[in-house]
Amino acid sequence: MQLPTFDDVLDAAARIAPHAHVTPVLHARSIDALAGCSLHFKAEHLQRVGAFKFRGACNAVWALEDADAARGVVTHSSGNHGAALALAALSRGIPCHVVTPANAVPAKLAAIAGYGAALHRCEATLAAREAACDTLQRHTGATLVHPYEDARVIAGQGTAVLELLATSGPLDTVVVPVGGGGLAAGTAIALAGRAPGTRLVLAEPAGADDAARSLATGQRVTDVVPDTVCDGLRAGIGRPNFRILQAAGVEVVTVGDDAVVAAMRLVWQRMKQLIEPSAAVALAAVLASPQRFAGQRVGVILSGGNADLASLVRAGRA
């Protein structure tokens, strides 16, 4: 895969402008006081489908040539990316196939189906997902839009931080969640082009810390078995994503699930906003490492709001 550039991020911003929301930047003085810094929350939980994922999926779908688009798109996803691709495909009037693992959150599966995609269930392994996608590609001719190892997706995700900077002005640091690394890599590219003096910090659940391990050792770690409430961050970091983040010299902060849920609850209480654990990990990272951010202007991307409240209640965490 040819790695995306800053020009690709700018092209993506123009391409998705007719379809994606320009989400607000929110503030909470009481949370600033707790964190010891000025926080600027990019509210991607208010994006279409309730997550930043619509940016990358929309860019990928609308970048297709007409002949390729007519054959549709296919992906594998446990939730937000599948819903985002389904809605993007619907906006262009083309077929969408989403391979979903057996352990996917039911509410997220319902969202994917609600946007008109055909669901294809498989075992909860990466190998099973990829095999199912390969079969669908052969049978339909659909274009694969990988959730994070896709240059068009990475470029699209980078548009969120462009909007954040345009609204908030200069920032000392930007904090984003990291799973497969699409948002993180896109943010790194966008910051390098628009605000090279801004530090990028990745927030990762301790129970799925392959990005932290990979960046610490200089080699992709692929043997982590994820165990975290952050269902959107259980994917291992992608190959091109790792290369981009390694070159950018990013930092990683890992936090436990209890800290993530506490941050999620804090956003409910102080900001009256519903975010999912995979978004709350970014605020949790700031609160867990106050010395890293003290006195700074910090951008925090709240990546999504599709919380599975039923599972959190069953776990006694909500």
pLDDT tens for 188-243 read: 999 999 999 999 999 999 999 999 999 999 999 999 999 999 988 998 999 999 99
Looking at residue 313, its pLDDT comes to: 61
Q: Are 6-51+152-314 and 54-150 in the same CATH fold? A: yes
Q: What is the 3-state secondary structure (H, E, C) of the chain?
A: CCCCCHHHHHHHHHHHCCCCCCCCEECCHHHHHHHCCEEEEEEHHHCHHHECHHHHHHHHHHCCCHHHHHCCEEEECCCHHHHHHHHHHHHHCCCEEEEEECCCCHHHHHHHHHCCCEEEEECCCHHHHHHHHHHHHHHHCCEECCCCCCHHHHHHHCHHHHHHHHHHCCCCEEEEECCCCHHHHHHHHHHHHHCCCCEEEEEEEHHHCHHHHHHHHCCCCCCCCCCCCCHHHCCCCCHHHHHHHHHHCCEEEEECHHHHHHHHHHHHHHHCCCCCHHHHHHHHHHHHCHHHHCCCEEEEEECECCCCHHHHHHCCCC
- What's the rounded mean pLDDT across residues 105-131? 89
pLDDT tier at 142 (50, 70, 90 boundaries)?
A: very high
Looking at residue 214, its pLDDT comes to: 97
- What's the rounded mean pLDDT across residues 56-74? 98
Looking at residue 317, its pLDDT comes to: 63
* Whether residue 312 has pLDDT greater than 90: no
Looking at residue 210, its pLDDT comes to: 97
Of the options 3.30.70.2190, 3.40.50.10130, 3.40.50.1100, 3.90.1170.50, the CATH number for the domain spanning 6-51+152-314: 3.40.50.1100
Looking at residue 133, its pLDDT comes to: 96
Domain boundaries, the chain: 6-51+152-314, 54-150
- CA 10 vs. chain centroid, Å, equals 18
* Whether residue 108 has pLDDT greater than 90: no
List, edge to edge, every strand of the sheet that includes 251-255: 25-26, 38-43, 297-302, 173-177, 199-205, 251-255
Percent of the chain at pLDDT exceeding 70: 97
Task: Give the alpha-carbon dihedral of 183, 58, 148, 156, to 10 degrees.
Answer: -40
Whole-number average pLDDT of the chain? 95
- What's the rounded mean pLDDT across residues 112-119? 95
CA–CA–CA angle 91, 45, 20 (5° rounding)? 30
pTM given for the model: 0.95
Fold of 54-150: Rossmann fold (3.40.50)
Looking at residue 79, its pLDDT comes to: 83
> 51 - beta bridge partners?
304
- What's the rounded mean pLDDT across residues 12-38? 98
- What's the rounded mean pLDDT across residues 49-68? 97
CA distances (Å), 66 to each of 61, 70, 92, 296, in order?
10, 6, 10, 46
Q: With CA atoms as reference, report the closest residue to 312 among 107, 123, 46, 51.
A: 107
Token look-up 């599966």 returns 109
